[in-house]
Amino acid sequence: MINFNFHQHSVFSDGKAEPEAYVQQAVKLGFEAIGFSEHSPLPFDTPFSLKQKNIERYVATIESLKEKYSNKLSIYRSLELDFIPGFSEKFEQWKQACKVDYAIGGVHLVKPPHTDELWFTDGPDRTIYDNGVEKYFDNNIKKAVTTYYHQINGMVESQRFDVVAHVDKITMHNQNRYFTEDEKWYRALVSETLHLIKEKDLIIEINTRGLYKKRSNKLFPDSETLQQVINLNIPVIVSSDAHQPEEINLFFDYAVSKLRQYGCKRIMFFKEGRWIEKGL
Q: Which residues bind Zn ion (CB under 5 A)?
A: 80, 106, 165, 241
Smallest distance from the beta carbon of 37 to Zn ion, in angstroms? 6
* Separation in Å, CA 258 to CA 133, 189, 191, 230, 238: 31, 23, 20, 11, 11
Go through 109-131 and write b for each residue having 16 or more CB atoms within 10 A of its CB, e for each that does not. Answer: bbbbeeeeebbbbbeeeeeebee
- DSSP helix, strand, coil percent of the chain (3-state; round to 5): 40, 20, 40
For Zn ion, the closer of residues 162 and 241 by Cβ is: 241
Return the residue nearest Zn ion (CB atom): 241
Distance between CA atoms of residues 72 and 79, nearest Å:
23
Smallest distance from the beta carbon of 38 to Zn ion, in angstroms? 9
Smallest distance from the beta carbon of 217 to Zn ion, in angstroms? 19
For Zn ion, the closer of residues 80 and 101 by Cβ is: 80
For Zn ion, the closer of residues 194 and 247 by Cβ is: 247
Smallest distance from the beta carbon of 94 to Zn ion, in angstroms? 15
Smallest distance from the beta carbon of 79 to Zn ion, in angstroms? 10
Other Cβ atoms less than 10 A from the Cβ of 188: the count is 12
For Zn ion, the closer of residues 35 and 235 by Cβ is: 35
Task: Please provide the size of the chain in residues.
Answer: 280
For Zn ion, the closer of residues 165 and 206 by Cβ is: 165
Q: What is the DSSP pairing of strand 266-271 with strand 236-239?
A: unpaired
Cis peptide before 43 (omega within 30 of 0): no
